Structure 1
Amino acid sequence: MLPRVTALSRCLSLAAVFVAGPASALELPLPPPGEDIVGQVQTIKARYEDTFADLGNQYDLGYLEMIAANPGVDAWLPKAGTEIVLPTRFILPPGPREGIVINLAEYRLYYYPKGGNTVRTYPLGIGREGWGSPVANTKIIAKITNPTWTPPASVRAEHAADGDTLPAVVPAGPDNPLGPFKFVLGLPGYLIHGSNMKFGIGTRTSHGCFRMYNNDVLELSGLVPVGTPVRILDEPYKFGISGGKLYLEAHTPLDAKGDPSTEDKHAAVINALINRKDLSGHVTVNWDTVRDVINGEDGLPVEIGTPDDTLVSGQ
């Protein structure tokens, strides 16, 4: 039986924790065949002037994932010397490792360069309630530098109701909410684009499109060709194998109504595990640890069991 985990031991069990300097986009080597985890957890010491929004921009992390990985720390005044966890270890999303994969529940995009042995991952802003981003399979159909923005009638009406009259067309420039670049998706009306509001990255703030830090979308613009497949998932619970151990990464479900019980979340994890045909029926799971992980929802991969040849135990 695996020991139950506290917030600190959960973090320390994931990887060697170390102090790191400023970083930009995360480019990580793919794991060997049969393994699913990339990256390393990092920690830094906060300076007096630091906020989670600024640290997210500096280390290419989203606002809500910083909040989740640092429970109890004031996001706007963490205090000088406070240890801040940078959640830079990830279980790769399920399914083919090709093209672009977006996981809505973790506000994150993964890009697998064709013919390469790396993955690049970036934080995203996604659609807010009432304007949710879709779950779908699509592709990149166009790339546009310095885009103009033509607000849809629904968006103009929403702003007008708040006393804010939008122009019919917003020209390219620093006031354009699409930032310096946009990818057009094969889903009518949906884009991956930059933003003139960097503090919205890693939150639910858009009208359904996918917002990126401007330096990230510009980097991606030079890497991703037209025709690249895009797979959009909503997976709050990801499973992965690393070093012969089974890991779970839990995020807050997007569509949860009210405050779901531990039992409901537990059932959702069981269903997610069953849907992993390569794991279902071939692992022994410590469900006490699973309860800790899904209650914490800190977005960090945590060891929950071991693969074997027996049926899943403890359900």
Structure 2
Amino acid sequence: MKFPVSPLTAALLAASLSPLSPALAAGQAAATLAPELVNAAGKDGAGAGSATPARSTSAAKPATAAILRAQVLLDRAHFSSGEIDGAAGSNLKAAIAGFQQAREIAADGSLNDATWAALNADPSDALITYTLLEADVAGPFQPIPEAMAAKAKMASLGYASVEEALGERFHVSMSLLKRLNPGKDFSRAGEQIVVPNVEGTEPLPKGGKIVVSRAARTLALYDTAGKIIAQFPSSTGSDHDPLPLGEWKVNGVSEHPVFWYNPKLFWDAKPGEAKAKIPAGPNNPVGVAWIDLSKEHYGIHGTPVPSSIGKTQSHGCIRLTNWDVAALIGSVGAGTQVVLQK
């Protein structure tokens, strides 16, 4: 669905050329995520900088609308910045640099004119409307306990809330989802909400090699001709469980895996914890998929905490968001080369 520029948004943008009252300033801040403004950002310089669209330049600090649109377009191109949150940071800079490398643009990680031109090859709106279905709100939704023993007693580890389910489906943080939809009832079928336009993209072609960079905190996927075709932010080990550098292979792929918890393999296991079989589900400790590596006990997997990816350490494995690992397993299989590097 297209979003024409509303009179309110136009007035707020025009008012930004002169000093604002506190009330109008608050209104303008709320309008920065208006779908029509986000969908126009980065087109012919519109919304690319920190000033108003009429005054912005590609060299200026990107505005929130431009950051959000870039995150969505990068996600659609399989160069993910992880959870879409409308904020600049290391994950976004790495995603832009990976996209630039793939498009043969100088990889400086900035939203410069050449990068916007390449992103704009995808004419899709970044934000669209979605009507909630009965299946979206039906659940069941239930709290997820922290303790492994308590998790093991559950039939499955589904979503804790409809907001979490929608956030994962549309690759968006729950806080941004709520900011995009003030006053909306996410539990009501028929409610129309604004979401990132991340569904219906082309699946990844066959992958030939996975390269995980500990320093960059990224996982890059190359096709069989050696061209980079995707990049995802990742969490890659810790001082206690360092990333096992070297060349390995994929042994196999498991969707919706159960997790066999062995406290002996975790340095931070609590005293008295026992082995446990943790049921499948998006809130399983390894998320929705496990890519088993030829290095024993190591794999590439999802996570129930997408906001942590690229920002926290792991227990040695390579963690991705659930949606990124779901995209990856459609491209790789037994025998795919895996390079883990500094």
Q: Which structure has more strand as a fraction of its residues? A: 1
* Greater Rg by CA: 2
Range of TM-score over shorter length = 0.3 to 0.5
Q: What is the TM-score when the length of structure 2 is the normalising length?
A: 0.43
Q: Which has the higher helix share?
A: 2
Provide TM-score, normalisation by structure 1: 0.47
